[in-house]
C-alpha cells in the first residue's frame, strides 16, 4: 500500500501543525518550544493544498533547532527544499549559540518563503525575519500570534521580561492557615493535591523556598512520581542568609542546590535568569511568598485550598502593606480544579500567558 503524501490546506493549518510539533519539545529548559513544517512550492492547477516535504521540532538545549531539524529530515528523505515555504511557530533565530542561526540555514537551503507566528522577543536571537528578507526570502509574521504566545507560555513571558516567570504555590486551609498553632503543617492537603504539585515541579526549571521553611520543614524539593524521582530534576533554590544544615534533605538526591544569601527578590530573579531559569516555582514559606508578592514579581498563583479549619496558626501570607481593599493584589482566575477533597485555583496577572498547567 502506498502512503499518500500529506498535504495541508492553507497557511493557518500549517501554522497549527507547527504548534503541534512544538508541543513535542520539552517544557523545561532555556529554549522555547518550536515546530517547523516545510511545504513544497504552490501546487499546480487542479491540486489542492501544499505538499509537506518534512517536519521538525526542537528536542532540547544543544540539539538542532526546529528549522534545521526539518531541513535534515528533508535531506534524509531526498526532498528538494529549493523554493519551499518554511512555516515556523517562532521567528527563526539570527544568532549563534549552542547551534548556528536558523535564518542562515533556511536562506542557504534555498527556501523561498518563511511564515512564522510569534516574533522572537529576545534581543540576542531576534532579527531572523529581517535577515531573511534582506536575502530575498518572502517573510510573513504574526500568523495566529495569540495562539503562538500561549504555546510558548512561561518562556515567552521570561524572554520579554528578562527574568523568570514566577508561579507562587500556596497550600492552605479554608481559613487561610498553612500551619497549626503548634507549627505542624503535614498534611493540610490530600494526596491528589500533593501529587499534582509534584507534576508542576517536574515542569519548572527551579523550585524556591526560604531558609525558614528549610529549618522548619526540611523539604527535599524533588519532583516525584509513585515510582520515585523523575529523571530531570529542577534546581533547588534556598533564599536567605541562614545556613542550610549539613544533614538537610536538600543535600540529598535531587536537583542541584543553589543557595542565594539575600532577601532581595530582584537579586534572586537576576541570579536565576543568569542560570537560564525560565520558570520558577516559589513554594514558600509565608515570608518568601509575601516578599515576591510585595515586589510585584508573581505572574501566576497556584492556590491549593483544603476543606480544613484551624482557627489559629500561621497565615499563608504576611503583611503586604495593603491598607484598603482598593489596593489589594488582584489576579484573574484561569482555572478551578478539584483534586480529591481539595480545590486548586490557578490565577494569573493580566497579560500573562497560560503555562503548561493549563
Whether 67 sits among the annotated catalytic residues: the reply is yes
Query: For residues 193 and 301, what is the distance between their CA atoms, to the nearest angstrom?
Result: 15
Domain boundaries, the chain: 7-159, 163-348
142-176 as b/e: b if 16+ CB within 10 A: ebbeebbbbbbbbbbbbbebebbbbbbbbbbbeee
Catalytic annotation, pick one of 55, 67, 113, 357 = 67
CATH superfamily of 163-348: Dihydrofolate Reductase, subunit A (3.40.430.10)
- Residue 205, all three cell numbers: 526549571
Residuewise pLDDT in 10s, the chain (358 residues):
233 446 665 788 999 999 999 999 888 878 899 999 999 987 654 456 788 999 999 988 778 999 999 999 999 999 999 999 999 999 999 987 777 899 999 999 999 999 999 999 987 778 899 999 999 999 999 999 999 999 998 999 999 999 999 999 999 999 999 888 888 888 889 999 999 999 999 999 999 999 999 998 899 999 999 889 998 899 999 999 999 999 999 999 999 999 999 999 999 999 999 999 999 999 988 999 999 999 999 999 999 999 999 998 888 888 888 888 988 888 999 999 999 999 999 999 865 555 544 4
Residue 311 to residues 9, 305, 308, Cα–Cα distance (Å) = 61, 15, 10
The domains spanning 7-159 and 163-348 adopt the same CATH topology = no
DSSP letter assigned to residue 60: S
pTM beyond 0.85: the answer is yes
CATH superfamily of 7-159: Cytidine Deaminase, domain 2 (3.40.140.10)
Cβ neighbours of residue 134 under 8 Å, at least 6 residues apart? none
Amino acid at each position: 500500500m502506498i502512503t499518500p503524501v500529506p498535504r495541508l490546506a492553507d497557511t493557518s493549518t500549517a501554522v497549527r501543525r507547527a504548534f503541534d510539533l512544538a508541543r513535542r519539545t520539552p517544557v523545561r529548559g532555556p529554549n522555547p518550544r518550536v515546530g517547523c513544517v516545510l511545504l513544497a512550492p504552490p501546487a499546480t492547477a487542479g491540486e489542492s493544498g501544499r505538499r509537506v516535504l518534512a517536519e521538525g521540532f526542537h528536542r532540547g538545549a544543544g540539539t538542532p533547532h526546529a528549522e534545521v531539524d526539518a531541513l535534515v529530515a528533508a535531506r534524509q528523505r531526498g526532498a528538494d527544499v529549493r523554493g519551499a515555504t518554511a512555516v515556523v511557530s517562532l521567528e527563526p533565530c539570527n544568532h549563534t549559540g549552542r547551534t548556528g542561526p536558523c535564518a542562515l540555514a533556511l536562506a542557504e537551503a534555498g527556501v523561498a518563503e518563511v511564515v512564522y507566528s510569534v516574533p522572537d522577543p529576545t534581543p540576542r536571537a531576534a532579527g531572523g525575519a529581517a535577515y531573511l528578507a534582506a536575502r530575498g526570502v518572502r517573510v510573513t509574521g504574526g500568523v495566529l500570534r495569540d495562539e503562538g504566545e500561549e504555546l510558548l507560555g512561561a518562556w515567552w513571558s521570561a524572554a520579554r521580561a528578562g527574568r523568570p516567570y514566577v508561579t507562587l504555590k500556596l497550600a492552605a486551609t479554608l481559613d487561610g492557615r498553612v500551619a497549626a498553632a503548634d507549627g505542624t503543617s503535614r498534611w493540610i492537603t490530600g494526596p491528589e493535591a500533593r501529587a499534582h504539585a509534584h507534576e508542576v515541579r517536574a515542569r519548572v526549571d527551579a523550585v524556591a523556598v526560604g531558609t525558614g521553611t528549610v529549618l522548619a520543614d526540611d523539604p527535599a524539593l524533588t519532583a516525584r512520581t509513585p515510582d520515585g524521582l523523575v529523571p530531570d530534576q529542577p534546581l533547588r533554590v534556598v533564599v536567605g542568609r541562614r545556613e542550610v544544615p549539613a544533614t538537610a534533605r536538600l543535600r540529598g538526591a535531587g536537583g542541584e542546590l543553589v543557595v542565594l544569601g539575600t532577601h532581595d527578590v530582584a537579586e534572586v530573579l537576576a541570579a536565576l535568569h543568569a542560570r537560564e531559569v525560565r520558570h520558577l516555582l516559589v513554594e514558600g514559606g509565608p515570608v518568601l511568598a509575601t516578599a515576591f508578592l510585595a515586589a510585584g514579581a508573581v505572574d501566576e498563583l497556584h492556590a491549593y485550598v483544603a476543606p480544613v479549619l484551624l482557627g489559629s496558626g500561621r497565615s499563608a501570607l504576611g503583611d503586604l502593606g495593603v491598607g484598603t481593599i482598593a489596593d489589594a493584589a488582584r489576579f484573574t482566575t484561569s482555572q478551578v480544579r478539584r483534586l480529591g477533597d481539595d480545590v486548586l485555583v490557578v490565577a494569573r496577572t493580566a497579560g500573562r500567558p497560560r503555562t503548561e498547567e493549563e
